[in-house]
């Protein structure tokens, strides 16, 4: 083994063991419709069909949400085909632990295996065929986080959807291997408080999105420099980083300006020039994004409880802002789980 990122050195057996924890088990089922519904509740609505009756369906899924990212382990135990009309809200990295999958995402496709992951992009249809022994570890990254990360790294807005290559030779990226190892270790910890520290979770979310954007081929990697590429001033980046980590707290623009060592006017000007919205609108968008993630993927009891936890007390205004941003009402998102 000559390479530090050789898959065999990654210790596949240990990797699998850490990802098999009963407390992370979302469901287990031999019923096709039940499996389809359970996966669709935390991922996205889709069509699921058995393509070979030789192996009986024996589906199970493990699940751990991290706000803007979520971790899954999914297997069906039977050969299946999966059709997703369009993933609207997230990117998904699928890493086979065993078996193979044929993955078509938009106009791109790959034959995924233990050495070649696949990345599903939103905006386009997805068709997959999983072999009976295909067992996948998946990392879901919200579209909002991925696009904010891209804008922050590029230094300018993105005028077209961010599209990753479907085939991902993840072992060739030492950075991704390190992040993956860290995620799996974090996943395997039994202390529930580790997933409740929002400052740490926010940092993990950003680390995953930044690493994927920096280590895998995408549509903005070799773009000609036609757009503004000026680097964000330090105080703007500091303000954004603070808002990302403390979006659940009460924050005023005066406090944010003081924290960054600039005047309120300079803070507003910087956000207008480099972000395109005011600091408080940036914060509201962050909160709306976190609410959407919870409504779509968590076991939230009601829309009202989630909205109020993120600082929205006027349900009428909240619903209007949510629908304006996402094109559907909060209750529609809640029912899609």
**Res 148 pLDDT > 90:** no
Of 88, 83, 111, 113, nearest to 99 by C-alpha is: 113
The pair of structure tokens assigned to 117 is 């992951």
- C-beta separation of 118 from 110 below 8 A: yes
Every domain of the chain and the residues it spans: 7-195, 234-335
CATH tag for 7-195 (out of 3.20.20.150, 3.40.50.970, 2.60.120.10, 3.40.50.2300): 2.60.120.10
**Res 99 pLDDT > 50:** yes
What lies within 8 Å, CB to CB, of 88 at 6+ separation is 44, 122, 123, 143
Confidence band (pLDDT; 50, 70, 90) for 137?
very high
For the range 312-319, what are the long-range contacts, defined as Cβ-Cβ under 8 Å and sequence gap of 24 or more? Answer: 312/287
Cα torsion 271, 276, 279, 283: sign: negative
CA-CA distance, 212 to 45, in Å (whole number)?
Answer: 25
- Give 33: exposed, middle or buried? Use CB within 10 Å, 0-12, 13-18, 19+: exposed
Taking only the tens place, the pLDDT of each residue in 194-223 is: 666 777 788 888 899 999 999 999 998 876
CA-CA distance, 64 to 62, in Å (whole number)?
Answer: 7
Confidence band (pLDDT; 50, 70, 90) for 272?
confident
CATH superfamily of 234-335: Homeodomain-like (1.10.10.60)
**Res 224 pLDDT > 60:** no
Of 5, 141, 128, nearest to 72 by C-alpha is: 141
Q: What is the mean pLDDT of residues 164-179?
A: 91
- Convert the chain into a string of H (helix), E (strand) and C (coil): CCCCCCHHHHCHHHHHHHCCCHHHEEEEECCHHHHHHHHHHHCCCCEEEECCCCCCCCEEEEEEEECCEEEEEEECCCCEEEEECCCCCEEEEEEEEECCEEEEECCEEEEEECCEEEEECCCCCEEEEECCCCEEEEEEEEHHHHHHHHHHHHCCCCCCCCCECCEECHHHCHHHHHHHHHHHHHHHCCCHHHHCCHHHHHHHHHHHHHHHHHHCCECCCCCCCCCCCCCCCHHHHHHHHHHHHCCCCCCCHHHHHHHHCCCHHHHHHHHHHHCCCCHHHHHHHHHHHHHHHHHHHCCCCCHHHHHHHCCCCCHHHHHHHHHHHHCCCHHHHHHCC
Taking only the tens place, the pLDDT of each residue in 10-56 is: 555 666 666 666 568 899 999 999 999 999 988 999 999 999 877 78
Chain centroid, CA 110 distance in Å? 21
Sheet bearing 80-84, strands edge to edge: 47-50, 80-84, 126-130, 101-105, 108-112
Lowest pLDDT segment from 4-8, 20-24, 230-234, 268-272: 4-8
pLDDT at 194: 62
pTM over 0.75: no
CA-CA distance, 137 to 143, in Å (whole number)?
Answer: 19
pLDDT at 16: 67
Q: Which of 25-29, 79-83, 305-309 has the highest mean pLDDT?
A: 79-83
pLDDT at 260: 92
CA-CA distance, 38 to 208, in Å (whole number)?
Answer: 25
> 10 Å Cβ neighbour count for 69?
25
Q: What is the mean pLDDT of residues 180-200?
A: 73
């Amino acid at each position: 083994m000559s390479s530090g990122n050789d898959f065999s050195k990654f210790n596949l057996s240990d990797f699998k063991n850490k990802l098999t924890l009963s407390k992370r088990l979302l469901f287990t089922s031999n019923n096709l419709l039940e499996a389809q519904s359970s996966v669709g509740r935390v991922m996205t609505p889709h069509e699921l069909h058995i393509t070979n009756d030789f192996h009986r369906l024996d589906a199970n899924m493990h699940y751990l949400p991290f706000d803007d990212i979520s971790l899954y382990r999914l297997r069906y135990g039977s050969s299946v085909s999966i059709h997703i009309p369009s993933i609207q809200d997230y990117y998904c990295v699928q890493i086979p632990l065993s078996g193979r999958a044929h993955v078509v995402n938009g106009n791109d496709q790959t034959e995924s295996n233990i050495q070649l992951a696949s990345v599903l992009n939103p905006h386009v249809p997805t068709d997959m065929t999983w072999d009976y022994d295909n067992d996948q570890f998946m990392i879901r990254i919200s579209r909002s986080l991925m696009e904010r990360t891209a804008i922050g790294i590029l230094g300018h807005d993105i005028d077209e959807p961010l599209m990753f290559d479907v085939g991902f030779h993840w072992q060739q990226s030492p950075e991704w291997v390190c992040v993956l190892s860290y995620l799996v270790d974090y996943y395997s910890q039994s202390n529930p408080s580790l997933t409740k520290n929002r400052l740490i979770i926010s940092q993990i979310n950003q680390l995953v999105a930044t690493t994927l954007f920096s280590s895998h081929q995408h549509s903005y990697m070799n773009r000609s420099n036609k757009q503004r590429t000026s680097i964000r001033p330090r105080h703007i980046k500091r303000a954004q980083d603070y808002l990302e980590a403390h979006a659940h707290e009460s924050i005023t623009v005066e406090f944010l300006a003081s924290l960054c060592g600039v005047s309120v006017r300079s803070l507003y000007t910087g956000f207008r020039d480099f972000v395109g919205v005011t600091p408080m609108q940036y914060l509201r968008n962050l909160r709306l994004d976190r609410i959407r993630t919870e409504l779509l993927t968590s076991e939230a009891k009601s829309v009202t409880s989630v909205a109020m936890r993120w600082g929205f007390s006027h349900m009428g205004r909240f619903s209007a802002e949510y629908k304006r941003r996402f094109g559907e009402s909060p209750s529609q998102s809640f029912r899609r789980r």
